[in-house]
Structure 1
Amino acid sequence: MGGAHEKGGVEGQIGWFCRNHLVPVPDVATLAELNAMIDRWDEEDEASRIRSRPRTIGEYFAAERPLLAPLPDEPFEAGRLFTPRVDRYSQIGIRNNRYSVPVRLIGRTVRVMLHASELVVYDGREEVARHERLIAKGGARLDLDHYLEALVRKPGALPGAPALDQARSAGRFTPVHDAWWAAACKAHGEREGTRALIEVLLLGRHLPHEHLVAGLAAALRSGALTADAVALEARKAAEADTRTPAEPEPPATDRATVTSLTERRLAQLPPDTRPLPSVAHYDQLLRHRRPSRPTP
């Protein structure tokens, strides 16, 4: 702004935007959805004209942009800083709400930047968690991934974990996860089947969610109920997504198959031309029998 006299014009434009786009109040599920709607309305307003003017709002702004002062090199931090201590449930309390962090941080003090729509947690300079901000009081935002290291040691705590319920509600824990989990428990028992599922969930730190779900579905169809099989099928799904259109697709089969990890490793080795092992040399020892001892 060139001076304080423009402050009223800016506030007037904000009021115009609110009356034209936010009345009645939009019905959205998350702040991210509302922000996406506001961005779309901004683009629509830029393409409009004020009365009979020959140019759009966006065109006028493009002509004015080179005349504006440059932005500061360092962005302005609009968030509020907190330094809470992580409790024994691997959670921090911010503004009467609870947010999860990785279990390795239990008992430590972390830095939290609270923004209008999200909350970011830092351990030193490392970002360790990011949550959508809770508006109402007394709520909890829990990320199932933050608890996986503890659940590997105590898999029996997974079925009743509140973080699992939130993962289901958010669509991160799908019906495919549940079906594979049930099959793994039936094959390996409740404890080992649940531990295998947790190992699969740990794969989500290195594989995209959609590829992991595809790997679970393929492994379930083939009856391959191990984390290694899911990892292999997920990587095959990732390779299929990155395949160029010119590359031929593998032939489809009626029944899904899971490639053995041993066969996949051996396929990368050169052919073995050595002769098969033989025990013929040991047969020579049969000609030299010990003399039998005389009976007393």
Structure 2
Amino acid sequence: MLQKWLAEVADERVHGTHKEVVRERFEAERAHLAPLPPVRFDTSYRKTRRVALDAFIDVRGNRYSVPAHLCGQQTVFIHMALDGTLKVFDSEGTVVAEHRLRPKRTGWSVVPEHHARLWQELKVETRSLTAYAEAASWN
């Protein structure tokens, strides 16, 4: 049905801009048309972000993890695609993180491997719990 409408109505009308019959204009231009490229045109929304000290970037009100080696000083490039994917690129153009864009209410998007180095370097003070055990026994 669509093909019939295209052939009998759309292609036979006089175009409002160039004032020619659409089918005739297409036939005149056909020899000059090239095939579409094999790779789809990237329509991603592109921006830069600065990586925070906790290895996260802020995008549209939410936070997304990036590898720890980018902490604090690196500017990264983000591409947000129409399909809801977020790709993060380093200064060399290498993809360093991929996430699904999330609504603010769903919280942060974390890839545990991004923060593995931070957890290894983290120095947490430990102390004996005997004082707490003694205090609990007083009740």
- The alignment's TM-score, normalised by the length of structure 1, stands at 0.28
Q: Distance in 2 between matches of 1:114 and 1:155?
A: 36
Equivalent position of 1:143 in the other structure? 111
Aligned to 1:87: 52
SS in 2 for 1:82: strand
CA distance, structure 1, for counterparts of residue 77 and residue 63 of structure 2: 15
Deviation string 1:4-54 (CA, Å, 9 cap, x unpaired) is x48xxxxxxxxxxxxxxxxxxxxxxxxxxxxxxxxxxxxxxxxxxxxxxxx
Q: Distance in 1 between matches of 2:48 and 2:78?
A: 6
Q: 1:152 is paired with a residue of what secondary structure? A: helix
Letter in 2 for 1:71: L
CA distance in 1, matches of 2:111, 2:46: 21
Q: Which has the higher contact order (CA 8 A, sep 6+)?
A: 2
Whether 1:152 aligns to 2:117 is no
Letter in 1 for 2:42: E
Matched, 1:103 2:68: yes
Q: Equivalents in 2 of 1:85, 1:114: separation in Å?
A: 16
Superposed CA deviations along residues 47-105 of structure 1, whole A, max 9, x for unmatched, are xxxxxxxxxxxxxxxxxxxxxx7322553012100101001111111111110001110
Q: For the aligned residues, what is the CA RMSD?
A: 2.6
Q: Distance in 2 between matches of 1:119 and 1:104?
A: 19
Identity of aligned residues (%): 31
Which residue does 1:71 correspond to in 2? Answer: 36
In structure 2, give the amino acid aligned to 1:77: D
Question: Does residue 113 of structure 1 match 2:79?
Answer: yes
Q: Which structure 1 residue ranges, 5 or more long, are not aligned?
A: 7-68, 157-296
Give the aligned residue type for 1:118.
T
Aligned residues: 92
The superposition leaves residues 142-198 of structure 1 with CA deviations (integer Å, 9 ceiling, x where unpaired) of 111001111112275xxxxxxxxxxxxxxxxxxxxxxxxxxxxxxxxxxxxxxxxxx
Task: Write out aligned runs for 1:94-243 (5 A).
Answer: 94-106=59-71, 107-115=73-81, 116-123=83-90, 124-134=92-102, 136-138=103-105, 139-154=107-122
Q: Distance in 2 between matches of 1:155 and 1:148?
A: 14
**Residues 254-287 of structure 1, C-alpha deviation per residue, up to 9 Å, x if partnerless?**
xxxxxxxxxxxxxxxxxxxxxxxxxxxxxxxxxx
Bigger fraction of residues in strand: 2
Q: TM-score, normalised by structure 2?
A: 0.58
CA distance in 2, matches of 1:87, 1:150: 13
Q: CA deviation at 1:118?
A: 1.0
Question: Structure 2: 5+ residue runs without aligned partners?
Answer: 1-5, 12-33, 125-139
Distance 1:137 1:152 in 2: 29
Moved over 6 A (4+): none
